[in-house]
Homo-oligomer: A and B are copies of this chain.
């Protein structure tokens, strides 16, 4: 049988949290997970600690582990941080993006525009932004940004659902401007548009506090 290592368990759980199978606030019992993976509780504990480090799981001593929950103000803060970090990250990425990656980004912009179902949109939008950062060397900055994307994923989904999946035309415009700036190697433009892109989302999000009930 598979020698299920902690990182393997963690990776599977991470994916389930991101795709919504496991909702924020949901309890994670060590024994259940251990049984599921055919392992003992020790590797599971390790996996949970790993996810705790990612901010995806909250552990309380002598109580248990839950999928992390964000309050409205925490989510707002997450977007404020994105606003400051992602322009920096993309400016470090742009000079090192390979032609194949830029081609894929171009594809993604039109795929996003044509996307019909919600999960597809979320997946493509995530791929677009994270791929646009792929040129930056892996470091603390990348780690922080990915962590924010992960911990806020559920709320992006909730927001999109609430909107009846009416993605605004402005969003697509901004994606095109970002792509345009990348192609022309115009970091300052991209930084500005990306900052606006995130700020607009933050403000829109803050008008839908009902997500956090």
Residue of B nearest to A52 (CB): B53
Interfacial chain B residues near A53, Cβ < 8 Å:
49-50, 52-54
| Stretch from A80-88, A94-102, A125-133 that touches the partner | A80-88
- Bitwise, A115-147 to B at CB < 8 A (1) or not (0) is 000000000000000000000010111001000
Instruction: Let me know if A74 is at the binding interface, CB within 8 A.
Output: yes
**Cα distance A141–B82 when bound, in Å?**
10
> Cβ of B55 and Cβ of A140 under 8 Å apart?
yes
A67 to chain B, nearest CB (A): 16
**Cα distance A45–B46 when bound, in Å?**
8
> Cβ of B5 and Cβ of A140 under 8 Å apart?
no
> Cβ of B50 and Cβ of A139 under 8 Å apart?
no
Instruction: Let me know if A30 is at the binding interface, CB within 8 A.
Output: no
Interfacial chain B residues near A5, Cβ < 8 Å:
61
- Which 8 interchain pairs have the tightest Cβ spacing? A53-B53, A49-B49, A84-B84, A77-B139, A74-B139, A77-B141, A81-B141, A77-B140
Which A residues form the contact surface with B (CB < 8 A)? Answer: 5-7, 42, 45-46, 49-50, 52-55, 61, 73-74, 77-78, 80-81, 84-85, 88, 137, 139-141, 144, 148, 151
A-B contact pairs, 23 of them (CB 8 A): A5-B61, A6-B61, A7-B61, A46-B49, A49-B49, A50-B53, A52-B53, A53-B54, A55-B140, A73-B139, A74-B140, A77-B140, A77-B141, A80-B141, A81-B88, A81-B140, A81-B141, A81-B144, A84-B84, A84-B88, A85-B85, A140-B148, A144-B144
